[in-house]
Amino acid sequence: MTRNLKGFADRMLLVGCGNMAGAMLDRWLVAGLDTAGVAIVDPVAAPREGIARFASLAEWRAAGGTADWIMLGMKPQQLGEVAGDLADIVTGGTHLLSILAGVSLADLAARFPGAKAQVRILPNLAARIGAGVSAVASSGDADMATVAALLDPLGTVVALADDSTMDLVTAFTGSGPAFVFRLIESYAAAGERLGLPAEDALKLATATFGGAAALLADSGEKPGALIAQVASKGGTTQAGLDVLDSDGQLAALLTNVLRAARDRGRELADIARGEG
């Protein structure tokens, strides 16, 4: 059930509104967020009815823009530029939300010392349909009840004690949908190579992955228990599992995938701090 945001009366500014920030905003609008209280600073963002869009922070400020909540959704490499234009209006009443990969709460506090609170959010693209995962950590005097109200329409929310693991979470859940899409794509391609029509292979692969994930979430069981319900000794499923499990190659591959994504997040953090 999507929490209703019709009672959210504060002013919100989105600095950057690309795929991820746009998915969050669109879901908030579905949940009843009042467009009159929202502004976007992004010269190339898709227009949204009722929401003022500005090409730059200077243009927004010239129009008398004010905000109680500011969400940073641009590229992490742009943090220095944005902070220079924005820091003086991030005051003691302002909540600063950030979905910037690699940019820590400490980085945000250093750039925006006047903020009431810094809130680091790591969502993923499935937020677009309310089936996302959002990890959240905060510093300062954050209004976490309102933060929770904003994140609830996006899907599952995981509150972290601090943001020390956020680079890994960025790789694990933020980048995760792309990895799953690649697995589905590759699974379908394998079916096609073995004789399935391409369209059938993709449809079957998508339904198989989606159904298995839904069953796992609904059952409350561990993956191994469900594997045992599908596989029988000496059967077809076990023959395939033997290939997947050979020499721990699958686990090693996925570990390397996550490590590469995590480490890139750290590199982006260095760039955002001007160290890269």
- Domains (ranges, CATH) in the chain? 12-166 (3.40.50.720), 176-266 (1.10.3730.10)
What pTM, to 2 d.p., does this model score? 0.85
* Model pLDDT, residue 154: 96
* Model pLDDT, residue 3: 61
Taking alpha carbons only, the member of 271, 74, 266, 276 closest to residue 170 is: 266
* Model pLDDT, residue 2: 47
Please give the chain's pLDDT, 276 residues, in tens: 446 898 899 999 999 999 999 999 999 999 999 999 999 999 999 999 999 999 999 999 999 999 999 999 999 889 989 999 998 889 888 999 999 988 999 999 999 999 999 999 999 999 999 999 999 999 989 999 999 999 999 999 999 999 999 989 999 999 999 999 999 999 999 999 999 999 999 999 999 999 999 999 999 999 999 999 999 999 999 999 999 999 999 999 999 999 999 999 888 878 877 765
Angle between helices 223-230 and 198-219 (to 10 degrees): 130
Tokens 């690309």 label which residue?
18
